[in-house]
Amino acid sequence: MAYTRGNLAVQPKRKEEADRLYREKTKVVTRRMVLPLQEKLLYMLTLGVFVLVAATLIWRYVHIYDLNLQAQRLDAQISSTKKDIATFQMEKQTLEQSVAQRAAELGYTKPSEDSTIYVPLNSTATKGDH
């Protein structure tokens, strides 16, 4: 076995490097695999189905919200109409009570139960009815 650590005579010759004007660089280029057309179409179809389902669900929720809003408006309208009806009924009762008093003030009398009221037939009264 030869002694190679310190002996210059036994050392292998170094490669002579020539002065180069450029330096070599290695660049790693990674190419992405291009998806086949069928796979692209499958992905697009799947995405389209998801978008369609999402749009349908959103449309349904908007429709339900609109129906709830209409129901609330109708409830408010019904309650205000009920208040108006109650007011008109009270007004009707007060007017019914005041009719007898007002008729007495104007000189009208209440007919008796046994009396018969005769209404004459006029040709002028029947012309407007036809």
In a domain, 66, yes or no: yes
Where is average pLDDT lowest: 11-20, 34-43, 60-69? 11-20
Average of per-residue pLDDT values in the chain: 84
Instruction: State the pLDDT at residue 27.
Output: 85
Residue 11's contacts (CB-CB under 8 Å, 6 or more residues apart) are 4
Q: How far apart are CA 44 and CA 37, in angstroms?
A: 10
The answer as to whether 30 is a domain residue is no
- Which comes out higher in pLDDT, residue 80 or 2? 80
Task: Locate 53 and state its tokens.
Answer: 């389902």
Domain assignment of residue 95, yes or no: yes
23 domain-assigned: no
In a domain, 31, yes or no: no
Least confident stretch, 23-27, 73-77, 89-93: 23-27
Q: Find where tokens 């349908």 sit.
A: 56
110 against 72, higher pLDDT: 72
Does residue 111 fall inside a structural domain? no
The whole domain housing 85 covers 38-104
For the record, the structure tokens of 4 come out as: 């190679």
User: Based on the structure, what is the number of domains in the chain?
Assistant: 1
The pLDDT of residue 89: 97
Higher pLDDT, 24 or 91: 91
In a domain, 47, yes or no: yes
Q: Tell me the two tokens of residue 26.
A: 């290695």
